[in-house]
Amino acid sequence: MNEKNQPIIAISTAQGVGAVGVVRISGSSLKQYIRALFLRDLEPRVASLCTLREQDASPIDQLVAIYFQAPQSYTGEDVLELQGHGGPTLLSMIIERCLEIANQTDAMGRQVLAGLRMARPGEFSERAYLNSKLDLAQAEAVMDLINASTKRAAKGAIRSLQGDFSKEVNALKDMLVHLRMFVEASIDFPEEEIDFIKSEQVARQVSAIKLKLTEIIQKAEQGRVLTQGINVVIAGQPNAGKSSLMNVLSGEDIAIVTNIAGTTRDILRETISIEGVPFHVSDTAGLRSDQEQPLDEVEKIGIQRAWERIKDADVLIYLHDLSRMSDPDYLKQEDWIRGVIKDAQIQDLKILDVYNKTDVADPKLHGSWIQERALSISAKSGLGIEALKKTLLNLAGLQTTNSEGQYVARQRHLDALRRVQANVLTATQWIEHVAPQLELIAEELRLAQMSLGEITGEFSSEDLLGEIFAGFCIGK
């Protein structure tokens, strides 16, 4: 039997102790198997109280069994869900007994459910995709919904799961197909002199495609933020208030705050939600050179890790200490940090200068030190924190005024859309050429259509499917 046709079984609830645990089974035909499990038939889509028994008829568990008959099921195959008590040992016993009964033989020597095996990660969702119950973008949204770290991300995942993202991609694909149809008609029937390339009709179609593509890319970029979040790194000299800022942003005392320099030696990371947008905030070791004062081995490692995290940040909060702006040693270290940032070629666009300790610094000095586009805050009193949060939202590029209609997206979706954008641009250049090459225009439009098909899974390789579904949890 082909592996993809084998029946599969797995625990679908999270590991650990719970009130209820679910075992899910999917296969091409489960009626005979259900009869062997419970000595009775089950009515489709009706919850039935059943007792699963050992071979000696002793009970294993009393559970609720629900039979979903194909194709009206999650996977498109027959599906049986067993909802028992949530003890890990008990669920293992249920799995073991289900496998035993599957291997039993009938009067003809045939197994009750031949080939039943443990499911691979994501295999139930993979079968839903292969059986056209979900497209690939919707299947990915299943895992995004499970992993959603904010309410807004969860709502976006639901919209993708319901097909909102796929509908927009398919609408764009239909526009490309319509344009391709005319281009290829001109190639196939040159004697008809279908000369439309320079016409106003084509110009309108191309303009509409570009507009729709820009809109989808913008939404997909925002959707990627909802899925993956924004990596924010707080960096600066020792005692600049990085840990205090980390605590006030997270709303918890997760970082130790003292007057002793170098308290933070390693990376502290916390995910916070700002208006439903996930920000992965990292508090790093204080940055300083070892020219004035030697660094111990632990502090060296901490600073090295801080620079590594800074290079990978989406946003760098460079925290300055307003109370030490007249200290020559402090300013010397500031110059050194600026130099390292410049040498590392960290983009200025992702650096947010934040000046801390406005509550203790001389107010007359604020204006002379704080740079344009920078923020002044007091991590201790909370002054300026709301402005900082709004700035982080703006840097994330996410529209917060209207979250309706937003869906989640992944980096691979954005990569595909960027390829579509490049293909459409090239096709447009050929259309506007003095002597348009119809074959080249048609090829660019074909490649654009293929890239859109990769998003929904219309065109996909086995390697891509394996990579996507391997990231799912077992039983989903």
Residue-wise pLDDT tens digits, 184-228? 877 776 654 445 666 677 888 899 999 999 999 999 988 888 888
Same domain (yes/no): 105, 37: yes
CA distance 372 to 335: 18
What does the pLDDT average to over 248-274? 72
What does the pLDDT average to over 21-37? 95
What does the pLDDT average to over 231-238? 93
What are the start-end ranges of the E strands in 135-227? none
Does the pLDDT value for residue 462 go beyond 80? no
In a domain, 404, yes or no: no
Does the pLDDT value for residue 315 go beyond 80? yes
Q: Which of 396, 419, 440 is the last residue of a domain?
A: 396
CATH number, domain at 43? 3.30.1360.120
> Looking at residue 198, what is its pLDDT?
63
Does the pLDDT value for residue 21 go beyond 50? yes
Of the candidates 167, 8, 168, the residue with the CA atom closest to the CA atom of residue 102: 8
Same domain (yes/no): 234, 381: yes
CA distance 423 to 413: 15
CATH number, domain at 288? 3.40.50.300
At 248 the three-state DSSP class reads: helix
What does the pLDDT average to over 254-276? 70
Please say whether the beta carbons of 73 and 79 come within 8 A. yes
What does the pLDDT average to over 83-101? 95
Tell me the one-letter amino acid at 219.
K
Does the pLDDT value for residue 331 go beyond 80? yes
Does the pLDDT value for residue 260 go beyond 60? no
Same domain (yes/no): 265, 367: yes
Does the pLDDT value for residue 230 go beyond 50? yes
Same domain (yes/no): 198, 274: no
Same domain (yes/no): 268, 379: yes
In a domain, 31, yes or no: yes
> Cα separations (Å) of 333 from 242, 243, 293?
16, 19, 11
Same domain (yes/no): 256, 304: yes
In a domain, 141, yes or no: no
What does the pLDDT average to over 284-303? 81
Residues in the chain, how many? 476
pLDDT tier at 47, thresholds 50, 70, 90: very high
What does the pLDDT average to over 433-462? 87
Residue 7 gets which letter from DSSP? -
What does the pLDDT average to over 94-100? 96
What does the pLDDT average to over 268-293? 86
Q: Number of helices (H) and strands (E), helices first, in the chain? A: 15, 12
Q: What pTM did the predictor assign?
A: 0.78
Give the residue, 254 or 264, on which the prediction is more confident: 254
> Looking at residue 404, what is its pLDDT?
63
> Looking at residue 256, what is its pLDDT?
57
> Looking at residue 173, what is its pLDDT?
94
Does the pLDDT value for residue 41 go beyond 70? yes
Q: Which of 56, 84, 119 is the last residue of a domain?
A: 119
Please say whether the beta carbons of 50 and 63 come within 8 A. yes
In a domain, 460, yes or no: yes
> Looking at residue 37, what is its pLDDT?
96
Please say whether the beta carbons of 310 and 316 come within 8 A. yes
Number of folded domains in the chain? 3
CATH number, domain at 207? 1.20.120.430
Q: Which of 396, 423, 444 is the last residue of a domain?
A: 396
What does the pLDDT average to over 303-327? 90
CA distance 79 to 125: 12
Same domain (yes/no): 155, 104: no
Same domain (yes/no): 198, 268: no
Same domain (yes/no): 237, 378: yes
Does the pLDDT value for residue 74 go beyond 70? yes
In a domain, 72, yes or no: yes
Of the candidates 235, 241, 273, 261, the residue with the CA atom closest to the CA atom of residue 379: 241
Average pLDDT, the chain: 87
Which two three-digit tokens encode residue 83?
A: 């909802």
Highest mean pLDDT among 244-258, 422-436, 440-454: 440-454
Containing domain of residue 271, as a range? 229-396
> Looking at residue 193, what is its pLDDT?
46
Please give the share of the chain, as a percent, with pLDDT higher than 70. 90
> Looking at residue 469, what is its pLDDT?
85
- Weakest mean pLDDT among 35-49, 260-274, 336-350, 368-382: 260-274
Strands 8-11, 18-27: pairing is antiparallel
User: Tell me: the pLDDT tens digits for 342-355?
Assistant: 888 887 768 999 99
> Looking at residue 332, what is its pLDDT?
92
In a domain, 126, yes or no: no
Please say whether the beta carbons of 314 and 231 come within 8 A. yes
Same domain (yes/no): 198, 320: no
Same domain (yes/no): 244, 387: yes
What does the pLDDT average to over 9-16? 92
Q: Is the dihedral of CA 241, 244, 246, 248 positive or negative?
A: negative
In a domain, 402, yes or no: no
What does the pLDDT average to over 36-44? 95
What does the pLDDT average to over 361-379? 73
Which two three-digit tokens encode residue 425?
A: 């641009």
Same domain (yes/no): 321, 341: yes
In a domain, 67, yes or no: yes
Does the pLDDT value for residue 362 go beyond 90? no
Please say whether the beta carbons of 457 and 469 come within 8 A. no
Does the pLDDT value for residue 258 go beyond 60? no
Does the pLDDT value for residue 259 go beyond 80? no
Please say whether the beta carbons of 226 and 278 come within 8 A. yes
Map 401-464 to HEC letters: CCCCCCCCCCHHHHHHHHHHHHHHHHHHHHHCCCCCCHHHHHHHHHHHHHHHHHHHCCCCCHHH
